[in-house]
Structure 1
Amino acid sequence: MADPQTYSTASRKKSVAQEPVTSVLRGDELPIYTRELTADEEILAALGYKPEFKREFSLWTSFCVSFAVLGLLPSFASTLYYGMGYAGTPGMIWGWLIAMFFIQCVAMSMAELCSSMPTSGGLYYAAAVLAPPSGWGPLAAWITGWSNWLAQVTGAPSVDYAMSAMILAASSITHPEFVPENYQVFLLTTLIMLIHGCISSMPTKWIARFNSVGSTFNIIALFIVIIMIPASTNRKSQGLPKFTPAKEVWGNFYEGTDFPNGLALLMTFVSVIWTMSGYDAPFHLSEECSNANIASPRAIVLTSGIGGLFGWFLQIVVAYTVIDIEEVLDSDLGQPWASYLLQVMPQKTALAILSLTIIAAFSMGQGCMVAASRVTYAYARDDCFPGSWWIKRVNKHTQTPVNAVWFNVVIGILMTLLIFGGSLAAGALFSIAAVAAFVAFTLPIFIRVFFVGSRFRAGPWHLGKASLPIGVCACAFVALMVPILCLPSVTGSDLDAAGMNWTCLVYGGPMLGVLIWWAVDARKWFKGPKVNIEHQMLGREDNVVEGKEDGNDSGDSSSGSITKRDAQHLENDKGGALA
């Protein structure tokens, strides 16, 4: 935690307008420090926050965390049911290719926001700053923040659940008499989440090293699997050609839904969206990254681009070698990836690849836990949660948000109780993450494109003239996909509770509760990002508003006080920060 004496109102060196950021502060005000600041600290100060973390992430280590969260191999294994099950091999190949173009648009637009506002609040902060006048900023931040938190907090549980299913499937392969029970999946998932919680509570440097190793392993394992599958397939010994003819792979749709092939193809996008939802991690780690307003957006774009390319290669390999899609989906193993591996190669080779996938999944779950803890910390810093005073404490020994980590662990374990509701109920962990992430990713992009336009103050990494058309493509794609992700696979008289898509309920229920909370109470006290230095968040007419330290060793701090007449100047002041 920074020394309270560091902050001074005695002099003024720079205004917010001199920093390459878009801030909630007034353009003519900035806290002045009695010590020399680094460039990263000056930018963070212009955004309204004290430096509370060590900047021990770089472009590479930020990329490593986000690539670990992406976890192409375990993500593909976890969502194979959706990519293959709705439209077969054409859905896998065409679906991934089409979806990736638009997902890259979302990633580039997000990276532009990150360069302009490199803070752990990320998209939530951006929505508040860019929202239209007349009080829309707090509401935009409230919706974005809660949607993003739902996506983040379901990340580790969904990955760890899929990992547990793969571990137990491996046990079933070696011991055919063993049939996993739901309580065994739940207990194993809980154990893995507790381990991830312990690792995520370590100092930043250790976490960065762990994720660097994990991401390196993810990359190596991905290459090994992409090479091993076509090299080791035993299709010829089963009387089949080594690869399925291209005409069948690209054009022979599997009737996995009651909807037309075109709509079924769009439904396969859920696997791409869930797999590629980790590229926002560098945004949330930007307060721990050096040269953040350049390194963090680069890490976002690299993660999405490289992940999309190699993910497509993996889709092609599986599409050209799979033999019987129905058998893969309905196998007694309960895990399509394990079923596919046994179908196309010898048992020992299948187990080797499955083991690589499990280890990669462990690294991915860890990356999800780290990213989610930073999001939770940022929102608790602005008092979004009940008990935020405890959640936002930074551990004085590790200088990491340990309390936020364990808050997420408890929530995640409670969410995995869906396992006892069956595979469709547990599948809601994946669907809610996809929809919630897309809503959170795109709301600030939508505001920036359609309400701010050319008044947006870009950071050093930007898209130039391509910014608006890329942003429009991103918004249009999300507007199309959100309702499609909520469609069930069957229609008419065949639709019952067992075949229902529960995404609307699992995501819509909590978000409806959040909106009711806003209307009844939160709108009275929630004003958006709550800066914690001497600030000009709501405007003033006379004296400088001075931030106050509470002297707590944990790193908790309160924002500065605001006079009663400040509120009426909020919107005018915020407009000046954009230009």
Structure 2
Amino acid sequence: MSTKMGVKSDAMVSGDHFGETDSDTADQLLTSLGYKPELLRTRSTFQVAFMSFVLASVPYGLATTLYYPLVCGGPVDIIWGWVAVSLIIVCVAASLGEITSVYPTAGGVYYQAFMLAPMSYRRLAAWVCGWLYVVGNITITLSVNFATALFLVASVNVFQAAAGEDVLAGSAYQVFLIFLGVTLICNLTFAIFWTFVGIIAILITVLVVARHGRNNASYVFGHFEVNSGWRPGWSFFVGLLHAAYATSSTGMILSMCEEVRAPATQVPKAMVLTILFNLAAGLVTLIPLVFVIDDIQYLISLAQPVPAIIKSAVGSSGGAFWPAHPSTRARSHLRYWLHHRYITLHLWFLPRRRHSRMVIQIALGLIYFGSSAAFNAFSGVGVIALTAAYSAPIFVSMLEGRKTVTTGSFYLGKLGWFCNIVSVSWTLLVIPLFSMPTTVPVVDPSLVNYAPVVFVGFTLISLGWYLAWGRKHYIGPPT
């Protein structure tokens, strides 16, 4: 069945099937895959790539998590960690692109895992993949909004009181109220260009003013300084959470399959192109900041070091107020994190409306009152779950010898095997890696990484619900 559909998709996306347009053939293909076309196909490859790039808001994601590579390896971890992870994600994007050229639906990895898996366990494969995708997006969206709240607290505190005290104490109730405001704003506004123009302006100012001078190139690209307590090699890897978090929206591009004219060819190309855009944007953000870092020991004592870096460089509290807007990154997840039309798991907690999803985020945010460390685990869990969800159809495709992807219009041949192996290996590394505490020894409960506890908890809920209900009633997506 999979092979037949793959052949059909390859022929139909050629654009000359009975003289019909790309949009017509794409709609026919979608119908053959079990879905009714409902969206207008108006986007080009570049539009999809640019929109995905903007929604991912990589500069913002890197700014709010700079603490991790700063404490785990310094400049080398910040710059080369970002480059390394970006190249790995290119392999993930290329691997998913191959599969998407065969199954170009907005159901993405959930639908692909179901179609590629053997009949005997395809329902379980789709169930697990769907759970990973939903949980990953819930936790990532939550962490984005809370990171924004913490970042705003740090930005406000560049304006210190007369006695040198912070303007905001950053108590639990203050952070939660700011988080509440951020969550509401993310559902109401969309300030993409304001965010990016502001970021570029600040980074140029940082390099030009550089009140304490600039570090030399050998420091920026070659200085390695471990302050995490881990051995140097492992410490470098632990710091990669920074880059992995910023690239966690990679698979969201698949949700645009029904908005482009020839999704079997356009979406795979757009996925790879987006990662290259992200790589460049990340370097443009990180390199200026590393050039003006002047006191790593002080910066790692802060949860959000970027406002302090900018203030030190420009010598002005007002100039250090970062204008990043969370809606750019969070809204991508809010829009694509759950397509109930596709992920029909019939789980009790799956919301059907945007406002319901917002209520879930706010409810989960209450965890911060109990333990900030437990909440911080959500960023790690989000990365682990999404990375695993992205690799699920890739792994299943490898098990079948990549037979189905050979029928697609984005088949990469032997290079595809390489990309698949890198993608799955990255997932196997991510699961234990981001379950580790950032620093050791762990002498305080606030330093504990609760990511494995949260991840195992969601896994048990998923398996329990499958055994209790899904095994008899869940039938998977339409085919």
Provide TM-score, normalisation by structure 1: 0.74
CA distance 1:183–1:17, shift in 2 (3 Å)? closer
1:73 aligns with 2:73: no
Native 8 Å contact 2:66 2:304 kept in 1 = no
CA distance 1:198–1:20, shift in 2 (3 Å)? same
1:42 aligns with 2:28: yes
C-alpha displacement of 1:109: 0.8
Native 8 Å contact 1:55 1:288 kept in 2 = yes
C-alpha displacement of 1:167: 2.6
- Pick one of 78, 86, 93 that aligns with 1:92: 78
1:232 aligns with 2:209: yes
User: May I ask how many residue pairs the two structures share in their alignment?
Assistant: 461
CA distance in 1, matches of 2:279, 2:52: 13
1:453 partner SS: coil
The equivalent residue for 2:298 is: 327
Native 8 Å contact 2:111 2:342 kept in 1 = no
Q: Using the TM superposition, name which of 502-511 and 409-418 deviates more.
A: 409-418
1:172 aligns with 2:141: no
Native 8 Å contact 1:69 1:281 kept in 2 = no
CA distance 1:63–1:221, shift in 2 (3 Å)? farther
CA distance 1:490–1:166, shift in 2 (3 Å)? closer
Q: Using the TM superposition, name which of 291-300 and 343-352 deviates more.
A: 343-352
Native 8 Å contact 2:373 2:445 kept in 1 = no
1:362 aligns with 2:327: yes
1:429 aligns with 2:356: no
CA distance 1:384–1:63, shift in 2 (3 Å)? farther
- Pick one of 385, 390, 395 that aligns with 2:347: 385
1:519 aligns with 2:473: no
- Pick one of 265, 271, 274 that aligns with 1:300: 271
1:487 aligns with 2:436: yes
2:64 partner SS: helix
1:20 aligns with 2:9: yes
Aligned partner letter, 1:189:
F
Native 8 Å contact 1:88 1:255 kept in 2 = yes
Aligned partner letter, 2:40:
K
The equivalent residue for 1:162 is: 147
CA distance in 2, matches of 1:384, 1:289: 29
C-alpha displacement of 1:417: 1.9
The equivalent residue for 1:338 is: 307
CA distance 1:219–1:40, shift in 2 (3 Å)? farther
Q: Using the TM superposition, name which of 501-510 and 364-373 deviates more.
A: 364-373
- Pick one of 189, 193, 211 that aligns with 2:179: 189
CA distance in 2, matches of 1:384, 1:265: 41
The equivalent residue for 1:106 is: 92
CA distance in 2, matches of 1:230, 1:37: 47
CA distance in 1, matches of 2:43, 2:140: 21
Native 8 Å contact 1:21 1:46 kept in 2 = no
C-alpha displacement of 1:293: 2.0
1:174 partner SS: coil
Aligned partner letter, 1:480:
L
CA distance in 2, matches of 1:364, 1:226: 19
Structure 2: gaps of 5 or more residues: 12-21, 162-166
Structure 1: gaps of 5 or more residues: 1-14, 23-35, 200-209, 236-241, 392-402, 532-536, 538-579
Native 8 Å contact 1:100 1:308 kept in 2 = yes
Native 8 Å contact 1:196 1:365 kept in 2 = yes
CA distance in 2, matches of 1:470, 1:306: 19
C-alpha displacement of 1:256: 2.4
Alignment of 1:253-268 (within 5 A): 253-268=224-239
Native 8 Å contact 1:72 1:275 kept in 2 = yes
CA distance in 2, matches of 1:44, 1:303: 24
Native 8 Å contact 1:82 1:270 kept in 2 = yes
CA distance 1:21–1:145, shift in 2 (3 Å)? farther
The equivalent residue for 1:148 is: 133
C-alpha displacement of 1:504: 0.2
CA distance 1:489–1:37, shift in 2 (3 Å)? closer
CA distance in 2, matches of 1:125, 1:283: 11
C-alpha displacement of 1:124: 0.7
1:502 aligns with 2:450: yes
Q: Using the TM superposition, name which of 339-348 and 123-132 deviates more.
A: 339-348
CA distance 1:287–1:150, shift in 2 (3 Å)? same
1:132 partner SS: coil
C-alpha displacement of 1:515: 1.4
The equivalent residue for 2:403 is: 454
C-alpha displacement of 1:65: 3.6
C-alpha displacement of 1:16: 4.5
RMSD: 2.6
Native 8 Å contact 2:72 2:235 kept in 1 = yes
